[in-house]
Amino acid sequence: MLVEIWSDIACPWCYIGKRRFEKALAAFPHRDTVEVRWRSYQLDPSLPEHHDGTELDYLVSRKGMSPEQVRAMFDHVTQVAAEEGLAYDFDRVVVANSLPGHELLHLARAHGVGDAVKEALLSAHFEHGEDIGDRAVLVRVGTDAGLAAEDVERALDEHTHLDAVRADVADAQRLGIRGVPFFVLDGKYGVSGAQPTELFTQALEQVWRESEPLVMVGPTDPAEGADACGPDGCAV
């Protein structure tokens, strides 16, 4: 089973959704047959590499909300995140364009460490106040996951995976994805948002049932005693 997850590093609900899905997957009896593939999505591709101002200031200007509304939203999301074991600190969040991080994620996926890098980037951004647009942070995240520093530097310098990031965004537009996180199971079922763990469990079980062949009980050939008809006639 293939589970593709469109998300942005700068999306607080994407980290919460990751945790909830992981809980469902950990309890899924057939989890070893599930491949999780992270796909890129940018909530605000117009951001500069580095933004002067706090996350609160950015959302006030970007969303047209009052500071009080944004602070209330921060408090709510922080509480929900804490219930999933995540320690959000919006006062320390550094506003930055997530594009280089997505390029790093594609490099990581090519080397089999995509999930580790995704986890590290989300934690760096929301829990530790690190700049996910900073080259030193990206290199450290990559090397901590087992990538060679020179490979990370080269990929970011040469934009080796930029086309792959753009392809992910184009696929999201083609599928009608307008927000993240968005989960696509076996290219057929979509789950939008950081849904409760129970819903992810139901989705995994449903896709598994539909993807598995029938389990036969008893003889399958008329010659073996089954009362049925086949290409050579009917059992009599």
Residue 216 lies in a domain: no
Q: Please, what is the average pLDDT of the chain? A: 92
The residue type found at 90 is F
Containing structural domain, residue 40: 2-211
Residue 227 lies in a domain: no
Query: Residue 62 — very low, low, confident or very high, per pLDDT cuts 50/70/90?
Result: confident
What pLDDT was estimated at residue 89?
98
Domain count, the chain: 1
Residue 228 lies in a domain: no
Q: What angle do CA 120, 96, 177 make, to 5 degrees?
A: 80
Kind of pairing, strands 2-7 and 35-40?
parallel
* pLDDT per position as a tens digit, 143-160: 999 999 999 999 999 999
Strand-pairing partners, residue 190, are 184
Residue 235 lies in a domain: no
For residue 62, give the nearest of 45, 76, 78, 49 by alpha carbon: 45
Residue 234 lies in a domain: no
Residue 61 lies in a domain: yes
Are 85 and 23 in contact, with CB atoms under 8 Å apart? Answer: no
Domain CATH code at residue 166: 3.40.30.10
What pLDDT was estimated at residue 48?
85
Q: For residues 109 and 230, give the distance between their C-alpha atoms in angstroms, rounded to a whole number.
A: 48
For residue 105, give the nearest of 168, 48, 49 by alpha carbon: 168
pTM score, two decimals? 0.89
* pLDDT per position as a tens digit, 80-100: 999 999 999 999 999 999 999
Half-sphere exposure at residue 188, Cβ-oriented, CA atoms within 13 angstroms: 10
Kind of pairing, strands 182-185 and 2-7?
antiparallel
Residue 166 lies in a domain: yes
